[in-house]
């Protein structure tokens, strides 16, 4: 029985890509810059796996004998978006990016939004930081009952609402109906429910965020694994990112701590046979977008501390991969994702140790490798590196 555990550390990039100029991201380096800013930066367990060998910082020394395989991957898709990054990891390169709205959504789209959802009005309609826009418009939202609609540099239609004004299930329903109208030229990547609580001057977003993504344009690694009769366990945002497609069990978690615990429980669960695919979102949502360097580092430390119990409980045929979907450099300008390489680390009894896979041309190489490990149908894109890393 072969099992693969694939963990995406959301936004943990490792240096800007050659085409970063197209995205205004030249100079971004999520891990490298955090290492420069944090005194005594240390992630001992990730370093043992080989992460320190690919981080660009004088404060990080490479290990001589990494216990796993390590390297970097380039993104080939025309985006630095969460959804497209995950799709590429799962074997689909996206050549046309989703639409973005730097000037807010057009009036005809918002008119349709009100018609299908039944809301009487809306607030906002501009690119904004989620914490700032509820600070700005939260009180008016409570007074009027109108949802707060906003976007970002990503292809997202975000809807914020106080849980006592628009109950959470009603907010989810509004998001589902919005998702249905976003087709054609407005094929926006994600509709995101952004619930919050509190009083004016002290609004706080809750962990009941939900993403309603457009469906993948073809079969992904998840579909291939499921079609082969194996398990596909989705932890965290994975269920939302893949629009429930190709999944046999979903474990929706509220934060990294819950996600780490869910991964650990899956590793211990000997009944699982196939793929466990997890996204840990706090790096991106709580710390990258908010440009919180110390918080980002503390989240990395929290994950690093969990690695020993992961590795100790892996079975002989199990393989663990750790990667990311884009960057979000907390030292960089703005509040948006950054176009970066992502690390790829691997560990297991059946793969080599201290092996550098170099720089892969696409995230899809990882998905293709996992398809070969699990002996399922090949993914659309990507080149497997299984022959390079297997013992």
State the average pLDDT over residues 226-239. 97
Q: Whole-model pTM? A: 0.91
User: What does the pLDDT look like over 325-346, one tens digit per residue?
Assistant: 999 999 999 989 999 999 999 9
User: What does the pLDDT look like over 265-311, one tens digit per residue?
Assistant: 999 999 999 999 999 999 999 999 999 999 999 999 999 999 999 99
The residue out of 196, 212, 228 marking a domain boundary is 212
User: What does the pLDDT look like over 151-206, one tens digit per residue?
Assistant: 988 899 999 999 999 999 999 999 999 999 999 999 999 999 999 999 999 999 99
Question: Do 192 and 86 have their domain in common?
Answer: no
User: Are 124 and 146 in contact, with CB atoms under 8 Å apart?
Assistant: no
1 has pLDDT over 80? no
Whether 280 maps to a domain, the answer reads yes
Cβ neighbours for 127, distance < 8 A, ≥ 6 positions apart: 101, 102, 104, 150, 151, 152, 153
Question: Do 264 and 380 have their domain in common?
Answer: yes
Helix (H) or strand (E) holding 142: helix 130-144
Question: Do 205 and 250 have their domain in common?
Answer: no
Question: Do 265 and 309 have their domain in common?
Answer: yes
Question: Do 225 and 194 have their domain in common?
Answer: no
Q: What is the pLDDT of residue 153?
A: 82
Q: What is the pLDDT of residue 72?
A: 98
Question: Do 255 and 299 have their domain in common?
Answer: yes
User: What does the pLDDT look like over 7-58, one tens digit per residue?
Assistant: 999 999 999 999 999 999 999 999 999 999 999 999 999 999 999 999 999 9
63 has pLDDT over 90? yes
10 SS3 class = coil
The residue out of 212, 247, 268 marking a domain boundary is 212
Q: What is the pLDDT of residue 11?
A: 98
Whether 102 maps to a domain, the answer reads no
Count of domains observed in the chain: 2
Question: Do 205 and 239 have their domain in common?
Answer: no
Whether 101 maps to a domain, the answer reads no
For residue 164, what is the DSSP state? T
Give me the DSSP letters along 310-345: HHHH--TTEEEEEE-SSB--TTSSSSS-B-B-EEEE
Q: How confident is the model at residue 254 (pLDDT cuts 50, 70, 90)?
A: confident
Measuring CA to CA, how many Å separate 204 from each of 178, 207, 289, 319? 24, 10, 16, 38
Give me the chain's average pLDDT, please: 96
State the average pLDDT over residues 350-376. 98
Cβ neighbours for 359, distance < 8 A, ≥ 6 positions apart: 71, 72, 73, 74, 341
Q: What is the pLDDT of residue 154?
A: 85
Domain that holds residue 175: 107-212
299-306 contacts: CB < 8 A, separation 24 or more? Answer: 299/256, 300/9, 300/12, 300/34, 300/43, 300/46, 301/43, 302/256, 302/257, 302/260, 303/9, 303/46, 303/256, 303/260, 304/43, 304/44, 304/45, 304/46, 305/45, 306/260, 306/263, 306/264
388 has pLDDT over 80? yes
Q: What is the pLDDT of residue 87?
A: 97
Torsion angle of the four alpha carbons 146, 101, 94, 237, in this order, in degrees rounded to the nearest 10: -30
Look-up of token digits 């497997």: 384
Whether 359 maps to a domain, the answer reads yes
User: Are 50 and 60 in contact, with CB atoms under 8 Å apart?
Assistant: no
Question: Do 159 and 180 have their domain in common?
Answer: yes
Question: Do 231 and 371 have their domain in common?
Answer: yes
The length of the chain, given as a count of residues: 391
The residue out of 212, 239, 271 marking a domain boundary is 212
Question: Do 40 and 75 have their domain in common?
Answer: yes
Closest CA to 351 of 382, 388, 296: 388
Q: What is the pLDDT of residue 207?
A: 87
Question: Do 199 and 220 have their domain in common?
Answer: no
């Amino acid at each position: 029985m072969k099992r693969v555990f694939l963990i995406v550390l959301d936004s943990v990039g490792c240096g800007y890509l050659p085409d970063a100029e197209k995205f205004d991201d030249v100079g971004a380096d999520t891990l490298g810059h955090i290492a420069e800013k944090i005194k005594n930066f240390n992630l001992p367990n990730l370093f043992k796996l080989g992460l320190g060998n690919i981080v660009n910082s004088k404060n990080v020394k490479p290990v001589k004998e990494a216990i796993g395989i390590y390297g970097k991957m380039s993104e080939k898709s025309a985006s630095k978006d969460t959804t497209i990054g995950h799709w590429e990891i799962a074997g689909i390169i996206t050549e046309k990016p989703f639409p973005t709205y730097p000037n807010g959504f057009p009036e005809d789209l918002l008119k349709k939004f009100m018609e299908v959802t039944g809301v009487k009005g809306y607030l906002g309609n501009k690119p904004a930081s989620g914490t700032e826009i509820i600070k700005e418009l939260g009180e008016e939202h409570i007074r009027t009952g109108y949802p707060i609609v906003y976007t970002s540099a990503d292809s997202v239609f975000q809807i914020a609402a106080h849980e006592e004004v628009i109950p959470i299930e009603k907010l989810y329903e509004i998001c589902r109906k919005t998702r249905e109208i976003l087709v054609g030229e407005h094929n926006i990547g994600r509709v995101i429910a952004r619930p919050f609580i509190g009083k004016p001057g002290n609004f706080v977003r809750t962990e009941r965020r939900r993403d309603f993504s457009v469906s993948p344009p073809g079969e992904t690694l998840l579909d291939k694994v499921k079609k082969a009769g194996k398990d596909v366990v989705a932890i965290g945002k994975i269920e939302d990112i893949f629009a429930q497609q190709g999944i046999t069990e979903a474990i929706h978690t509220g934060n990294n701590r819950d996600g780490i615990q869910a991964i650990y429980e899956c590793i211990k669960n000997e009944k699982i046979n196939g793929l466990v695919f997890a996204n840990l979102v706090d790096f991106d949502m709580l710390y990258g977008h908010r440009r919180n360097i110390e918080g980002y580092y503390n989240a990395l430390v929290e994950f690093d501390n969990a690695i020993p119990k992961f590795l100790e409980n892996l079975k002989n045929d199990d393989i663990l991969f750790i990667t990311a979907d884009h960057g979000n450099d907390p030292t960089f300008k703005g509040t948006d994702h950054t176009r970066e390489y992502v690390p790829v680390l691997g560990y297991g009894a059946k793969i080599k140790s201290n092996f550098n896979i170099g720089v892969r041309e696409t995230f899809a190489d990882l998905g293709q490798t996992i398809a070969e490990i699990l002996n399922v149908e090949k993914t659309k894109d990507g080149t497997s590196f299984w022959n390079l890393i297997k013992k």
